Every structure is written in C-alpha cells, then in structure tokens.
Amino acid sequence: MNTIVITGGSRGIGASTAIECARRGLGVILTYKSNPDAAAGVVSRIQAQGGQAVALALDVGDASGFAAFRESVINALDATWNTSELSGLVNNAGYGLYAPIETVTEDQFDGLMNVLLKGPFFLTQALLPLLKQGAGIVNLTSATTRVATAGVAPYATFKGGLEVLSRYMAKEFAERKIRVNAVSPGAIRTELGGGLNAEFEALLASQTALGRVGEPDEVARVIASLLTEDGGWINAQSIEVAGGYNI
C-alpha cells in the first residue's frame, strides 16, 4: 500500500486531506502537536471507513525533533503496512497571525518562520530518504501570497517562501521522479487564525467570485489528486484553490 505523511492532520484541511487520501486507498500517517484526542478521532473515522491510519506527535516548529520523528515513521511503516517507503508527504501544519508589520515582535516572526518555512524545509530533508521513486510532495501555501492583505505580512512572506521552495524541490528531486507542487487555499472555513465570524465570512465571500468561502474538503480533494496518478503529470506548480478570490 502507498503511504503518506500529513503534518497537522488532526483538524481543518489536514484532517480532511487525511480522510480523503485514505478514501482513495492510501495509508496515512498524520501528525498532531497538542491535541491527541482530535488526531485519534481522525484515525477512528478513517478506520471506520476501512482505511488504515496512524497518528504521531510532531512539533513542526522544532527541527531538533525531526530525526526522532523519522524513526517513529519508520516503525509505523513497518508495523502497520510492512513497508519501509513513503509515497507522499503533505507539509500542511501551520497557524496564523493577524498583526500590522509595526506591531510584529521578533518572537512572533521567528515562531511563524519555524513552522511555515523552516519546518517544511528540514522535515522534507529528514524524510527524503524514505520517499520512494516517483513519490509526491504537496506544500500548503496561501492565496495571501498573490493578494496583499494588510495584517498578514509575516504569514504571507513565509508562505511565499514555501511556494518558491516547492519549485526548487521539484528541480532537485527530479532525478528520483519525485513531483513537488504547492496548493494555495483562499478563504477556507477552518480554525486557522481563530476561525471565521459571520461578518468576516461575509466579507471574504464578497471578495470571491463564487460568492462563498471554501470548505476543507474542497482543498483536500485537490491535494489527494496530486498524490495519486490523477496528478502524475503535474509538477512544480502552485495551484490556487480559492473559488476566484480577488480576481
């Protein structure tokens, strides 16, 4: 069975992606940082639908733990799927910050950078030896890299860096036929940044051509397709999943 790792898989887009990938027959290793019960709930949903999944703890903002996490992945692959290889990696874990540039502290800046850019860089490096020939990597970026929105400069900056990194990964991993793409969600109904209240949702809907905010499942289906043969000839791309946000 082909098996993937999804960071931040206990809620939001990560959880939807884990469930969708399992529905398509992939084994799923999903990570969580602080809510093991939520992660266990996602695993239970996958198992109830006949899939296989394992939840592992991981702080994407602390690269010193990546070597130990790789060993945990190796053990899970062997124990659950009797394999030593991964077929995919989804760098999804993240959080938001809404603050004007003049108020952002160095600690806030560094925290975002560690999770949104440094983490995916070095976690991919750590798991690269496990990725098989022809594997797929999807990095979650953001429509805020295309449309400047006041108050999210650090978040958008690091997501923009991850978008560039995706192209470089595609270039450098091409010898092993590993495809790397970025998926760039627009306004999605998740808990990121504290979630959406009715007023903010109405504003975002008014800025979107299709007249509403998106759902995590709509992003998950795009990510899953990039990890299967459906996306086998898509590489080094940034795919915006935003319903026509600010066009």
- Fold for the domain defined by 3-241: Rossmann fold (3.40.50)
32, 98, 155, 168: which is the annotated catalytic residue? 155
Cβ count within 10 A of residue 152 = 18
Please compute the mean of the pLDDT values over residues 52-62 and round it to a whole number. 98
Query: Which CA distances in Å does 212 have to 22, 53, 68, 152?
Result: 27, 32, 42, 21
Average pLDDT over residues 138-147: 96
155 is catalytic: yes
In the chain, the amino acid numbered 210 is L
Distance CA 119, CA 8 (A): 12
Sorting pLDDT into bands at 50, 70 and 90, what band is 76? very high
Instruction: Check residue 194 and give its pLDDT.
Output: 60
Average pLDDT for 128-153: 96
pLDDT band at 196 (very low <50, low <70, confident <90, very high): confident
Q: Please provide the distance, in angstroms rounded to a whole number, between the alpha carbons at the two ends of the chain.
A: 41
pLDDT of residue 205: 93
DSSP conformation class of 9: T
In tens, the pLDDT along 11-23 reads 999 999 999 999 9
Distance CA 133, CA 173 (A): 10
- 222: phi then psi, degrees, rounded to nearest 5: -70, -45
Q: 190 or 3: which carries more pLDDT confidence? A: 3
Q: Give yes or no for residue 192 having a pLDDT over 80.
A: no
